[in-house]
Amino acid sequence: MLRATERRLSNAGIGDARIEADLIWMTAFEVDRAELYARFLDVPTGDAQARAEELVQRRLRHEPAAYLMGHREFYGIDLLVSVGALIPRPDTETLVEEALRIAAARAGPIAVADVGCGTGAIAIALATRLPDASVYAIDLYAPALEIARRNLERHGLADRVPLLQGDLLAPLPGPVDLIASNLPYVRADELPTLDPEVRLYEPREALDGGEDGLDLIRRLLTGAPAHLQPGGAVLAEMDPRQIASATAFAASAIPGARSRVVRDLANRERILVVQT
C-alpha cells in the first residue's frame, strides 16, 4: 500500500513521494514512522484505508502535506497548522536564532513583538527560550490568531503571550526591545508563478507583499522608531533580492540605525537586522 501510494504521488509530479506516502499512512493510522514500519504485516482496517485515500486525493490536488497532517515542526516545536495561516518554513528559524543572539546581549528581561504572527511560530519559539521575556503576538487576521491561540494553549503559553489583533505595531501597549517579523514579501506579479501548494492553499494575505514585495516591510520600518526601546532592533525576513532596497529604506526610515544582513541555511541573504 505504501508503494502504491508512492507511485501515485510520483506519477503526479510530487517530489519526495516515498516520504509523503509515509506521512499519509502515518496520519491515517495516527502513528509515528517507527510504529508504521513495525506494522507492515498488519492489514489496515477499512476506516484507515478510507482515511488514507482521502489524504491521497487531497495531496493529488496539491494541498500541502503539512495541512493534511495538521501540524509542522518549527525550531524543535510541534505546531498546529491549517489553511488560515502560512506554514512555518526553516528560513524563519534563522530569524529566531538571530533574535535569541540579540536578546542574550541585552541586560535584564526584554519585551518582544512577533508581528504578523500567523501560527505563532516565532512568538512561541522565543517565549520558550526566553522565559523572562514579555512576548506579544500580533496579527491582523482572525483565522491566524485562532491558530496561534491553539498553539499557545498547546505549549502552555496562553497566559504569558498576549494575542493582539491589529495592523502591524499599532496594537502594542508600549515600546519593545525586539520586533521580529515574517511579513508577506512575495511580489504581486510573482504570485501566479508560485507552486500550486502555495498558490492554491496558503492564505494570499500572508504572501502578497505588493508590487515589489516590500509594502508591509516598509511600513513596519517606518513605524518601528516609535515602538522601540533605545538600542532596540527590528528583524525582518525577506527575499534575498529585496535586501538592498530594504536596507536603503531602513537608513532613511530609522536615521542613525545600524543595518546588517543574516544569511539563511542555504547561505542566502534572508534577514535584515536594523538596530538603533
CA atoms 151, 85, 78, 58: torsion sign? positive
Domain extent at residue 165: 81-275
Domain check: are 42 and 133 in the same one?
no
Arithmetic mean of pLDDT over the chain: 95
Listed residues 61, 94, 112: the one ending a domain: 61
Domain check: are 241 and 155 in the same one?
yes
Is there a domain that residue 186 lies in?
yes
Identify the band that residue 206 occupies on the pLDDT scale cut at 50, 70 and 90.
very high
Domain check: are 205 and 253 in the same one?
yes
Domain check: are 87 and 40 in the same one?
no
Total domains in the fold of the chain: 2
Is there a domain that residue 119 lies in?
yes
Percent of the chain with pLDDT over 70: 100
DSSP for residue 42: S
Domain check: are 101 and 57 in the same one?
no
pLDDT of residue 107: 82
134 forms bridges with which residues in the sheet? 111
Is there a domain that residue 90 lies in?
yes
Identify the band that residue 40 occupies on the pLDDT scale cut at 50, 70 and 90.
confident
Is residue 276 within 8 A of residue 228, CB to CB? The reply is: yes
CB-based contacts of 156: which residues, under 8 Å, 6+ apart? none
Is there a domain that residue 71 lies in?
no
pLDDT of residue 177: 97
- Residue from 82, 85, 89, 88 nearest 67 by CA: 82
Is there a domain that residue 74 lies in?
no
Is there a domain that residue 72 lies in?
no
Domain check: are 57 and 91 in the same one?
no
Q: How far apart are the first and last CA of the chain?
A: 57
Say yes or no to pLDDT of 254 above 90.
Answer: yes
Say yes or no to pLDDT of 24 above 90.
Answer: yes
pLDDT of residue 127: 97
pLDDT of residue 43: 86
pLDDT of residue 41: 87
Domain check: are 138 and 271 in the same one?
yes
Is there a domain that residue 68 lies in?
no
Say yes or no to pLDDT of 251 above 90.
Answer: yes
Is there a domain that residue 126 lies in?
yes
Identify the band that residue 44 occupies on the pLDDT scale cut at 50, 70 and 90.
confident
